[in-house]
Amino acid sequence: MPIRKVMKANEAAAWAAKLAKPKVIAAFPITPSTLVPEKISEFVADGELDAEFIKVESEHSAISACVGASAAGVRTFTATASQGLALMHEILFIAAGMRLPIVIAVGNRALSAPINIWNDWQDTISERDTGWLQFYAENNQEALDLILIAFKVAEDERVLLPAMVGFDAFILTHTVEPVEIPDQELVDEFLGEYVPKHAYLDPSRPITQGTLAFPAHYMEARYTVWEANENAKKVIDEAFAEFEKRFGRKYQKIEEYRTDDAEIIFVTMGSLAGTVKEYVDMLREKGVKVGVAKLTVYRPFPTEEVRELAKKAKVLALLEKNVTFSVGGALFQDFSRALINEKEKPVIVDFILGLGGRDVTFKDLDEALGIAQKALAGEEFDEVNWIGLRKEIL
Amino acid sequence: MAESPFKAEIERVQKEYSEKMTPGAIAVIPGSSVVNKTGSWRVFMPEFNRDKCVRCYLCYIYCPEPAIYLDEENYPVFDYDYCKGCGICANECPVDAITMVREVK
């Protein structure tokens, strides 16, 4: 029987790692994800998890150790956030290029300067072009489940790409919620043992990993990463379906909430989706036709699903906790790209809000709704809007 | 120059993978540096004047690749398949028997 425990998302991530039985975990503590390696080191020390826990001197070393371990042929896990993920940056490309199915749990946190330990998505969004798969959790249960699913997808022969699972700093990492811990046997059946096909060490099979590629081969090697990302779309759907069958919890690349007959659809990710669902419930009672779409998967970008979603609404209001300078948010780019050649497309309005842990309140959402309604009515509106900005101190 | 002891195996695997990219661009051929020519990015090449050479072997010792070996009479021979054109040999040669010239392909 699965047990229910009250825990933080950090603990849920550690539990997911324990259930996935990685052989090597290398991690460096960083707020707000410190508790993940702490908890895992406890599991290892108590003999509950048979794994090598490597203590390293930086995140750059943590991910490097993971690359080494994964290249040797074992399931590998680490956790980090913010500046730590940024420090891993160059190795993230190497992990994806070498097609190593490492999984990282990321406590989504703002980037310096100024120093800020609270939540936004700038850290993982900044790594969107590394080739890694990206999942975003709405609550602690999803943090646990998505890490298991991430392993499943990453290790699939058609994919073989590393994956990161983001959960919002403090809003999830340090907030307790009831989380169902699935049975070990069921997880074992779901994930299976990781049997590496390409990357493993065997003296009778001498190979070179992480080679130099001349111009004659580099482009093809990069294309295989592109291809693997494309393949991942189908594999993710399969993994979601199998997960639902075994554990009863349903996941979709884009989860829709009250979008039927909606005129304005708020699009968001992570824990903000919960807030917006609450807000939409309130508006629906007043008869306002609004809905929510939550991206559970951000890379590979669910282009087809976005196009389907776009058919349902007149206005897509993107709520983003990240900035792409002079453009707006990352989702704004991605949605614009996905819809640019569609014959009929909704108006897209971008909202940047909640950066660095700023609370997103109903008042903020009212402000966003007001602008979205202007767009709906065909009035003039700004494409990119900073919500809740304290203009008086500028 | 001595042939690689892996040559037969290298050629077999190379044939098998000659048209195929491995996942993660793994090199599955052991000792492939022997058959993969790495001198293709050279801009300058060493030109050797046998008459000036005093057979001191400094070029042979200093070549970082090493792309210089000795013939039966102990004169240096330059292996242009692997020479990167760094010019260290020409710089070390005490009798100016080696000069670097622009390579025209």
> CB–CB of A160 and B23 under 8 A?
yes
Segment B53-70 mean pLDDT:
93
CATH number of B37-104: 3.30.70.20
| CA atoms of A119 and A6, how far apart (whole Å) | 22
CB contact under 8 A, B21 and A209: no
Of B21, B24, B40, Cβ closest to residue A98: B24
* Residue A149 parent element (H or E): helix A140-154
Which of A100, A155, A208, A218 to probe the B interface (max B CBs under 10 A)?
A: A208
CA distance A221 to chain B (A): 6
Cβ-Cβ contacts under 8 Å for A130 (sequence gap 6 or more)? A89, A92, A93, A96
Averaged pLDDT score across all residues of chain B? 85
Give the integer Cα–Cα distance in Å for A244 and A248.
4
Q: B30 and A213 in contact by Cβ < 8 A?
A: no
CB contacts, 8 Å: A197 with chain B: 23
Backbone angles phi, psi at A64, to 5 degrees: -65, -45
Q: Which of B23, B32, B40 is nearest residue A198 as measured by Cβ atoms?
A: B23
List the single best residue of A155, A158, A211 to mutate versus B (max B Cβ within 10 A).
Answer: A211
Where in chain A are all domains bearing CATH 3.40.50.970?
3-247
> What are the sequence ranges of the domains in chain B?
1-36, 37-104
Distance CA B91, CA B80 (A): 18
The tokens of A36 are what?
A: 């993940």
Confidence (pLDDT) at B41: 81
Contact A356, A112 (CB under 8 A): no
- Burial class of residue A292, CB neighbours in 10 A (0-12, 13-18, 19+): buried
Are A339 and A391 a contacting pair, CB within 8 Å? no
Q: DSSP characters for A289-329?
A: -EEEEEESEEES--HHHHHHHHTT-SEEEEEES--BTTTB-
Nearest Cα residue to A123 out of A76, A88, A162:
A88
Look at A211 and B25 and tell me if their CB atoms are within 8 Å: yes
Distance from CA of B51 to the nearest CA of A (A): 38
CATH number of A3-247: 3.40.50.970
Token readout for A160 is 């073989």
B20 against A105, higher pLDDT: A105
pLDDT of residue A72: 97
A92 to chain B, closest Cα gap in Å? 13
CATH 3.40.50.920 boundaries in chain A? 254-393
List the 69-108 stretch of A: residues with Cβ below 8 A of B.
97-100
pLDDT category of residue B17 using cuts at 50, 70 and 90: low
In angstroms, rounded to a whole number, what is the distance separating the alpha carbons of residues A299 and A294? 14
In this prediction, what percent of chain B has a pLDDT beyond 70? 77
Identity of the amino acid at A87: L
Give the minimum alpha-carbon distance from A201 to chain B in angstroms, rounded to a whole number.
Answer: 12
| Cross-chain Cβ contact B26/A199 below 8 Å | yes
pLDDT for residue A163 = 98
| A123-138 residues labelled b (16+ CB within 10 A) or e (exposed) | bbbbbbebbbbbbbbb
Q: What is the pLDDT at residue B22? A: 85
Question: Searching chain B, which residue's CA lies closest to the CA of residue A223?
Answer: B21
Q: Which of B26, B30, B32 minimises the CB distance to A209?
A: B26
Q: Which CATH number is associated with domain A254-393? A: 3.40.50.920
The partner residue sitting opposite B21, judged by closest CB among A98, A160, A224, is A224
Contact list in A for residue B23 (CB cut-off 8 A) is 99, 160, 197-199, 224
**C-alpha gyration radius of chain A:** 21
Across residues B7-22, what is the average pLDDT? 69
Residues of A in contact with B21 (CB under 8 A): 217, 220-221, 224
Q: Which of A199, A206, A217 is closest, CB to CB, to B24?
A: A199
Of A199, A209, A220, the CB nearest to B21: A220
| Closest CB from A206, A209, A220 relative to B24 | A209
The C-alpha of B16 sits at a distance from chain A's nearest C-alpha, in angstroms, of: 15
Contact of A204 with chain B, judged by CB distance below 8 Å, is answered with no
Best mutation target among B17, B19, B22, B35 (most A Cβ atoms within 10 Å) is: B22
What's the token pair of residue B64? 């970082």
With CB atoms and an 8 Å threshold, state whether B25 touches A213: yes
Q: How crowded is residue A285: how many other Cβ atoms within 10 Å of its Cβ? A: 8
What is Dmax (Cα atoms) for chain B? 51
Q: In angstroms, what CA-CA distances link A315 with A43, A271, A311, A375?
A: 48, 22, 10, 7
Maximal CA-CA distance, chain A:
70
Residue of B nearest to A207 (CA): B28
State how far the Cα of A152 lies from the Cα of B71, in Å rounded to an integer.
Answer: 58
Residues A42 and A288: their CA atoms lie apart, in Å, by 50
Note the pTM of the prediction, 2 decimals: 0.88
Residue by residue, pLDDT tens for chain A (394 residues) are: 899 999 999 999 999 999 999 999 999 999 999 999 999 999 999 999 999 999 999 999 999 999 999 999 999 999 999 999 999 999 999 999 999 999 999 999 999 999 999 999 999 999 999 999 999 999 999 999 999 999 999 999 999 999 999 999 999 999 999 999 999 999 999 999 999 988 999 888 888 899 888 888 899 999 999 999 999 999 999 999 999 999 999 999 999 999 999 999 999 999 999 999 999 999 999 999 999 999 999 999 999 999 999 999 999 999 999 999 999 999 999 999 999 999 999 999 999 999 999 999 999 999 999 999 999 999 999 999 999 999 999 9
Q: How far is A207 from chain B (nearest CA, A)?
A: 5
**ipTM > 0.90, yes or no:** no
A38-54 burial by CB neighbour count: b if 16+ within 10 A, else e? ebbbebbeeeebebebb
